[in-house]
Every structure is written in C-alpha cells, then in structure tokens.
C-alpha cells in the first residue's frame, strides 16, 4: 500500500512538473518601421496603435480590448499590429529615404490633424489608403471598426486586376 501511495505521489508530481499551463495568446506587436514594411510586403492591413505612456484610455484599451481572445486571434491572423508612441525618440521611415521624428510621423499619418490618444490608423496597402479612428473602443466597437476596414480591403482587392 505504501509503495502504491509513493508511486501515485511521484506520478502526480511528474505530471504537475511537466504540464505547462497554456499561455494566453497575445497580440504580436511590432515597431512602426518593421510593421509598415511587412504590411506592404504581405498585403496585410497595418493596424497602428498610436499611444503614449501617460494616456489612461490607452492603458484601458490594452487591458480590456487588446486582451480579448477574439481580437487577439483576429489581429495575429489578419493584420500587422504596430505600436507607435510619437513621444519616443527615434527615426521612422515611410519611404526609401524619408526619415521622420515621432511627431512628424504622427502629423503625416493624421494628415496634419492629430486627434489625441489613443488613435488608430489603418493602412490598407491595396488601396494605399490610411484611415484614422480616434478614441477608446471597447471590444464590440473595435470589432465593428475592424469589420469596416475588412470590407474596404475586400472591395479594393476585388477592383485590383
């Protein structure tokens, strides 16, 4: 009986030690330069999350909307996810030789009409079109936004020979 109890305890310990809890998936965020080029190369929509460290609604967006498994799965399958903080010093490239600061890139993305944080930019390479959507969106509203971008991409793709 004692042997059996020792075997059971060892088996449970072995299973517990070798079984890893499945990690929750996360959005595969990229920096602007890498993501923008990948979106153009692969023909995927680039979703650019324009945020700052001090923005409260940006943090709520990360915590609530971007942690939703449906949003995560959709992002990782269909889009190139880009995190862009215009307050971070660095050089951003939108062309072969064009080098911009974060603030300059924000102005270029927003057509000189920035709208606060968070703001989402959707770059659809097939139509060379940039959409700007300002403000916090919960999972339901953000899903509707993504649906609209997908419809636009599909319509442009069907028109392209």
Q: Do the beta carbons of residue 136 and residue 66 sit within 8 Å?
A: no
pLDDT of res. 12 = 65
Which run of H or of E encompasses 84? strand 79-84
* Per-residue burial over 12-26, b = 16 or more CB atoms within 10 Å of its CB, e = otherwise: eeeeeeeeeeeeeee
pLDDT of res. 157 = 82
The CATH number of whichever domain residue 153 belongs to comes to 3.40.30.10
pLDDT of res. 89 = 87
Asked if residue 98 is part of any domain, the answer here is yes
Which run of H or of E encompasses 38? helix 32-42
Asked if residue 5 is part of any domain, the answer here is no
Q: Do the beta carbons of residue 38 and residue 44 sit within 8 Å?
A: yes
Asked if residue 8 is part of any domain, the answer here is no
The CA-atom distances, in angstroms, between 9 and each of 21, 89, 91, 139 are 20, 55, 57, 44
Is this prediction's pTM over 0.85?
Answer: no
Asked if residue 14 is part of any domain, the answer here is no
pLDDT of res. 96 = 63
In the chain (161 residues long), the average pLDDT of successive 10-residue segments reads 59 58 85 94 96 97 97 96 93 76 92 94 92 96 96 84 58
Asked if residue 113 is part of any domain, the answer here is yes
pLDDT of res. 85 = 96
Asked if residue 3 is part of any domain, the answer here is no
Q: Give tens-digit pLDDT for 81-105.
A: 999 999 998 888 876 667 889 999 9
The parent domain of residue 99 ranges over: 25-159
Residue identified by tokens 């890139």 is 105
Asked if residue 52 is part of any domain, the answer here is yes
Asked if residue 70 is part of any domain, the answer here is yes
The domain total for the chain is 1
């Amino acid at each position: 009986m004692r042997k059996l109890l020792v075997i059971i305890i060892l088996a449970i310990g072995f299973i517990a030690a070798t079984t890893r809890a499945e990690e929750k998936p996360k959005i595969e965020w990229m920096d602007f330069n890498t993501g923008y080029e990948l979106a153009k190369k692969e023909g995927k929509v680039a979703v650019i999350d324009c945020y700052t460290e001090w923005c409260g609604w940006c943090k709520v967006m990360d915590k609530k909307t971007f942690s939703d498994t449906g949003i995560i799965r959709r992002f990782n399958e269909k889009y190139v996810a880009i995190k862009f903080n215009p307050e971070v010093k660095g050089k951003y490239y939108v062309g072969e030789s064009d080098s911009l600061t974060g603030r300059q890139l924000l102005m270029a993305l927003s057509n000189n009409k920035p709208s606060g944080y968070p703001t989402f930019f959707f770059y659809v390479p097939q139509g060379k079109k940039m959409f700007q959507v300002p403000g916090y969106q919960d999972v339901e509203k953000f899903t509707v936004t993504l649906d609209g971008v997908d419809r636009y991409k599909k319509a442009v793709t069907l028109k392209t020979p």
